[in-house]
Amino acid sequence: MATTSIWRVKGWLGKVVIYAENPEKTANPKFYADRELTEHDGQQLTDVIRYAVNSRKTQKADNEDCAVVHRFVSGINCSPSTARDEMLAVKKRFGKESGTVAYHGYQSFAPGEATPEMAHEIGMKLAARLWGDRYQVIVATHLDKENHLHNHFVLNTVSFADGIKYHRTRKDYHEMQTVSDALCREYGLSVIEHSQQGRGKQYGEWRAEQEQRPTWRGLIRADMDEAIRQSMTERQFFDALRKKGYAVKVGKDISIRPPGKERFVRLMRNFGEDYSIEQIRRRILSQTRAEKKPSEPTRQVIRIRLFGSLKTARKLAGFRALYVHYCYLLGIFPKNRPQQSRKRMHFLLREDLLKLDAITAETRLLIGHRIDTAEQLFSYRDKVSEKITVLTEKRKQLYKTQRTAAVKSAPEKAAEVKTQITALSKELAVLRKEVVSCNSIAERSGVIKEKIKAVREDEHIKEKEKCDRTEQQKAVR
């Protein structure tokens, strides 16, 4: 079984070629920029690509005692070592150097089904059948994870045959998967015979699910499934969605809008046939009983002894108080606190579960540097920016030193300079993240305030409705 996808890449062509041939850079599969390269160096990528071809993740040793390796980077209508220059030359010849510079595709195999050699051979045949008669393609098989053997394709958008630009369509998606399935059958690999209608997963969503992090689509799907389990009729299903804060429109497809969002999401289009109106009805009618809604959590009374006076206790204020309170609402801390059920958490809060790492980093920065006001925040950011400027200049001087004949001729001196450059690069990476966090705090703090306000108002309305229902029930009795 192999899954496929392809997407367009805008910007500098050398970046995507470097990524496809060097899977050590897995931060973003669509776009990779090497921070160590200057604009001048970026124009001279021949040596960089030649080095990237030798990446350990695109090699496989025959055995531990043998230095011979198999290379898993190949080119169709171009050479891997000069792919960037050859692709740019075709673009220049036909005067089509702007816009989409390349298409980046992948073919991922089921764990344990294919060997690296087989995967690369299948990838080469796939690229040759789809694009080999008109386009230049780099095929790289990544061996970075044993359970994630996959091919990457970098396709030049301009045809070397007639200069016509490649434009990806729905038909291309289908043809890529069809040819991939045919090749899998030839090699005895499994194939998904009846794929459901619905959009394929984006790389970010797939990666989040592998790392067990929540996703937008996952949160919506979980709410839909829960509403189905708690319903015995179609009307109860829609009522359950509205109680969760969703706006609902029913046509050929059910469209729902999450609370606090502007756009509607079509269920069958995004999640497949299981979420069509007919299938939802069948799922509801197939149930013998509805799932009970979670009961209110029991409140536990804890007795504590206070030493000192609350009047003299230090209280957090400003940004620190805001972020600490929000982290508490999200269940990030205290650490010994039982995790709040995501199903019971308000949707406006649950969407920020996708951003836990960033929110946690911003909270640590605020607490660690005692930042409460915007003035303190921007003052700290400016100091960090100044330090980045100083360290960047220092690193530039080291790069110049590294290129001198005196250092090149002395291995020990060259190693020392390289170590200093590496240390500066790591320090700069940390400082740049802090600048990003400062900018994010300035923007996110206002959003957090509005979300907390909206959640409180929503909870107040629900509590009032609950009291009204209770009073009505008492009056009937």
CB 96 within 8 A of CB 158: yes
Alpha carbon distance 477, 473 (integer Å): 6
Alpha carbon distance 187, 119 (integer Å): 10
pLDDT at 297: 52
Alpha carbon distance 244, 378 (integer Å): 39
| pLDDT higher than 50, residue 219 | yes
Summarize pLDDT for 448-465 with one digit per residue, the tens. Answer: 888 888 888 877 777 887
Joined tokens for residue 246: 């969703």
Question: Closest Cα partner for 155 from 121, 123, 184?
Answer: 123
Identity of residue 365: L
Which backbone phi and psi does 60 adopt, to 5 degrees?
Answer: -145, 120
Alpha carbon distance 37, 56 (integer Å): 21
The residue among 477 and 352 whose pLDDT is bigger is 352
> In the structure, what pLDDT confidence band is assigned to residue 379 with cuts at 50, 70 and 90?
very high
Reduced to 3 states (helix: H, G, I; strand: E, B; else coil), residue 154 is strand
Set out the domains of the chain in order of their start, with CATH numbers: 2-195 (3.30.930), 210-285 (no CATH), 318-464 (no CATH)
pLDDT at 21: 53
Summarize pLDDT for 2-25 with one digit per residue, the tens. Answer: 667 676 555 545 555 555 555 444
> In the structure, what pLDDT confidence band is assigned to residue 41 with cuts at 50, 70 and 90?
very low
> Mean pLDDT of all residues in the chain?
76
Q: Please, is 209 exposed, middle or buried when counting C-beta atoms within 10 Å of its C-beta (0-12, 13-18, 19+)?
A: middle
